[in-house]
Structure 1
Amino acid sequence: MTFLAYRVEETEQGIQAAWQTLNDDDLPAGDVLIDVAYSSVNYKDALSASGNKGVTRAYPHTPGIDVAGTVLASNDPQFKTGDEVVVFGYDLGMNTAGGFGQHVRVPAGWVLHKPQTLSMAQAMAWGTAGFTAALSLQKLERAGIRPDAGPVVVTGATGGVGSVAVALLAKQGYEVVALSGKPEQENFLKGLGASRVIGRDEVLALKGKAMAKPLYQAAIDTVGGDLVSALIPQIQPEGAVTTCGMIAGVKIEASVFPFILRGVSLLGVDSVEIPLADKQAVLNKVADAWQLPQLEGMTTEIGRSELPAVLAAILAGQGVGRYRVNLQRD
């Protein structure tokens, strides 16, 4: 069976990408063949589509770390033809042909059952970015963070993870401070539930201090680098910082004082290799108690022809909110 896929290739002229017609025989071995209805666009997809060897080692390749679709064939009894399923994380879209193709074939151990209360389109409004935001909040709450104990700051607040984190925190009753380098998006962020929007300079001014005034109960960091370093000294006693991104850098500098004198926790968030049962639990939660009615309004749905421009915008740090790809629409 043939299908369309956004194929990224290395050529003498550099990295080039285009929609191509492929055959199911071109897909890797796996247990479950899926007809992809929707995918989403994440920063990791933009890196893979640009030829970043730290994400994808071998080309030609089809990026897309998220999939929502219908099972076409399965040799695993957990899944039958016609089942609606979701895949995110593991090696999908990194070194295994991903969701920017109308068909994918993956191991059964990567596949989640889509909850009935969540449509395939809604699942891809969440995507890996949204699930990472949900995992970040889950980590904070397991560390004792509660809505009545002080504000939570979110870095990279206009991005995919950050925007969902702002909305999710606000829905759960937290006072949210959105940190962004895009002052023109203040109304967007306040519309998601942020009580206040601050710029990077306000936080980075305290970088290098061992301890600073404890302004925030916790932080959800989505960008890494200096912002994490600057925020740790500003966290209240027994507070916590989650971190899940690296767009601003892969290194942080911090004194041990906030950890020893205030009991601050630094929590890494992995949305790729966590156990499948944990992923299913998060998917079920966002389909139920953590539903975000405003998520559709902060999601831009694009067709296949619009994908290159969106990938370029996200790579340049110009993306706002979530992007969902309708694989059936040009």
Structure 2
Amino acid sequence: MGLFRDAGKVYKPAAEVDLGANSDEFYIHPNVKAPRVAGLLVKIFVWILESRLLGPIVAYILKKDNLIQRLVSVAEIKEAPMFTPAHNCEDIPEQNVSLIKSNNSPAERVHEAESCLPPSLESTLTDSPSHFKRWTIREFARAYRSGETTPLAVAKRFLAAVESSAQLQLNMAFFINYSQEDIIRQAEESSQRYQRGHPISIMDGVLVAIKDEIDCMPYPTTGGTKWLHKFRACVEDASCVKQLRSCGAIIVGKANMHELGAGTSGINPHYGATRNPCDISKISGGSSSGSAAIVCAGLCPVALGVDGGGSVRMPAALCGVVGFKPTSGRLSNSG
């Protein structure tokens, strides 16, 4: 499309831009236009875009109509690149910070992190609170160590609750995939470790759900679709899942999600709309809808999600739980 290339926008250096009251600078407001399609029309539109003959023509027209060519593709930027911060900065010494050695094993790092936490109020699984309570990782570990309950007993109650939540009167759509046999096997192994008095870490026996965008054996990774796993097979655990397993965590299955993570409602046309446990007439948010709702419902004290632009934080906020996005590059993206 070089013959029809538009003249690009010329961006002045910021220091030369007049922002005063009498400025003649003109700000271009793109009127974004794009076809709104769904279902069969989406497939037809994708086929056209992927066509070697028609695809480039349609893409060019869309970019031209939305000023992408002028404002981005062929724009001329006069501003020199900045390789260092423009202002002086000084690191402020952090107070009361414990550094955890990155070369330690996952279980050792978990133990060091736990030692940094303040003491919590003692509570047991046999208590009968007058209100709903979500048990924390430390409370589960304490109950396992004291013998009040076992990972196997908790896993069986979890499976019963998941089956109940899938009934028509609730239809919570928490999970895309889970295996009773695999969960029971992990719970039995964890219970045996506690019986011998040698749990791996505080995470041993703790139930953890995994968003179906993260590889986790023995399940396929669907990404909330009906086709992705047919083109990309799951052959091993993702790096983050491997570390959880090495700490003794019980992986309980693949949590529901917005299809391909391309939305924030959590409504999945294939596996159901994940309902908000706070009010089942409301959405849970997305795209890590199942992960947030599972924690909100008290089925698991923790679940993994994936966050590019709020896909963990938004559903966590709507469900009334905590969503945490690690610093970019802090964790391996493998799997």
TM-score bracket relative to the smaller structure: under 0.3
Q: Normalising by the residue count of structure 1, what TM-score does the alignment of the two structures yield?
A: 0.25
Q: Normalising by the residue count of structure 2, what TM-score does the alignment of the two structures yield?
A: 0.25
1 or 2, which has the higher strand percentage? 1
Q: Which of the pair has more CA radius of gyration?
A: 2
Taking CA–CA contacts closer than 8 Å with sequence separation of 6 or more, which of the two structures ends up with the larger relative contact order?
1
